[in-house]
Amino acid sequence: MEVARKVGILSFVIFFTLVLLFSEVSLAQDNLFTGNVKLLSDSLCTRVLIQVPERTGYVVKDSDIPPRIVLNLFPLQAKFPSREIPTFDRFIKKISILKDSRNVVKTILDLNISTYNFNVFFQKNPSFVIVEVRALGKDPVSSILGFEGVDEKKGSLALSPSPGTGGKEGGMWKVIIDPGHGGKDPGAIGPSGVKEKDITLGIAYELLNLLNQNPKFEAYLTRKDDEFVSLDKRTEIANILRGDLFISIHTNAAWDSRAMGIETFYNSHYPYGEGAEEVALRENAALASENIPSSVKNIIWDLIQNQYRKESKDFSFILQQELVKVCGGENRGVKSAPFYVLRGANMPSVLVEVGFISNPWEERKLKNRNYQKLVAMGIYRAIERYFNMFSKR
């Protein structure tokens, strides 16, 4: 009886061991990485196609010194310890494939260019992780806007987890100025027919000139003329340029034509402050004409914004104070609400309503170029004050 029991236990142990062994072999086969890499190049960009098993995840990082893009692919079992692929390519110097750990394969793209933008997405049937690399050129924003987006069915934009670090490392602070609305989206329209999109662009150009006269700053616009730029594309521009601060400029509107004043918003999950929900609904209205990204990307954006909520709130109070001090008018305070245009920003970000275009008196001020310069000066002083806080730490 005892012998039979021991034989039974031994049989079970052998069976269980074989099951585990075959499971590991099966898993290894499912996650086997062959190192098959292809390059497709033209005058505008280079695409690196890395063939992987269907259930492959990736984490992306990039660096300036040296210029490179690093992908950690997982869970993968590599057939080889390492491999280096010379490319003789305009944009990519070489590709290195390393077995980083038991289940991670590190793919390093060393670049020939120091200013670039890139996109990473997953393609099925056959399964590839695809990296697209482009030079930014003299006009990086136009280059990014000309960059064809990724089909949501094939994959999604890979957000670099590292924030902009221009001024923090001794260089210039990068400020991304977002003139609200544009093109087919006029924004709010005043009693005399003045469109919000025109006022915000005028203020944005005045602010751009002020910032670019200061060697501490490097400023960019998300749009340079009357063109439609989707809400998520605006923060995509800011992320690719590695901005240190994102400012979306708007004018307010209300059913009551007597409403007036300045208010500043930072992003939050729920509206907080009088009228915050109404403002968010109006500014998010452009979503009706856009393809809303997947819920997964929304979760990622929320996590990113949580990281910068304190900085965004701090800058909101500084901006509100400086604008009211320089421009006068009613101080409507700092509020928070879920603004789609701020959600994807991998940096501190705010939305400022510089006045009520629905108020005839404020509309006259807002369309005056001298007043637009005054508003720009208020925003500029807030930016200087905000970044001076970092230099004193």
Q: What is the pLDDT of residues 58-90, one digit of tens each?
A: 788 888 888 999 988 888 877 777 888 888 888
199 with 274, same domain: the answer is: yes
Q: In whole angstroms, what is the distance from residue 136 CA to residue 215 CA?
A: 21
CATH number assigned to the domain comprising residue 172: 3.40.630.40
SS3 at position 30: helix
236 with 125, same domain: the answer is: no
User: Looking at 64-73, 130-139, 349-358, which range is the least confident one?
Assistant: 130-139
The answer on pLDDT for 343 being more than 60 is: yes
Counting the structural domains of the chain, the total is: 2
Residue 24 included in any domain: no
Residue 154 included in any domain: no
Residue 197 included in any domain: yes
Q: How confident is the model at residue 146 (pLDDT cuts 50, 70, 90)?
A: low
Mean pLDDT across the stretch 159-163?
Answer: 32
172-190 burial code (b ≥16 CB/10 A, e <16)? bbbbbbbbbbbeebebbeb
Mean pLDDT in the chain? 77
307 with 175, same domain: the answer is: yes
Mean pLDDT across the stretch 225-231?
Answer: 88
378 with 253, same domain: the answer is: yes
224 with 373, same domain: the answer is: yes
Residue 72 included in any domain: yes
Q: For 199-210, how does the pLDDT look when each residue is reduced to its tens digit (9 = 90+)?
A: 999 999 999 999
Residue 157 included in any domain: no
Residue 11 included in any domain: no
CATH number assigned to the domain comprising residue 39: 2.60.40.3500
Domain-ending residue, one of 98, 123, 140: 140
The answer on pLDDT for 285 being more than 90 is: no
Q: Say which residue, 286 or 55, is predicted with more confidence.
A: 55
Cβ atoms < 10 Å from Cβ of 218: 19
Which residue has tokens 């999604």?
Answer: 156
For 125: left if phi > 0, alpha if psi spans -120 to 50, otherwise beta; the answer is left
Q: Say which residue, 230 or 302, is predicted with more confidence.
A: 230
Q: What is the pLDDT of residue 249?
A: 96
287 with 220, same domain: the answer is: yes
What single-letter amino acid sits at 198?
D
Q: How confident is the model at residue 143 (pLDDT cuts 50, 70, 90)?
A: low
Which structural domain range is residue 107 located in? 32-140
123 with 268, same domain: the answer is: no
Q: Say which residue, 123 or 177, is predicted with more confidence.
A: 177
User: Looking at 34-38, 105-109, 149-153, 330-334, which range is the least confident one?
Assistant: 149-153
Percent of the chain with pLDDT over 90: 35
197 with 317, same domain: the answer is: yes
206 with 308, same domain: the answer is: yes
The answer on pLDDT for 156 being more than 80 is: no
Q: Are strands 245-252 and 217-221 parallel, antiparallel or unpaired?
A: unpaired
Q: What is the pLDDT of residue 310?
A: 87
186 with 127, same domain: the answer is: no
132 with 171, same domain: the answer is: no
What is the crossing angle of helices 369-391 and 295-327, to 10°?
Answer: 110
Mean pLDDT across the stretch 138-155?
Answer: 49
Q: Model-level pTM greater than 0.85?
A: no
What single-letter amino acid sits at 142?
S
Domain-ending residue, one of 140, 157, 190: 140
Residue 379 included in any domain: yes
206 with 136, same domain: the answer is: no
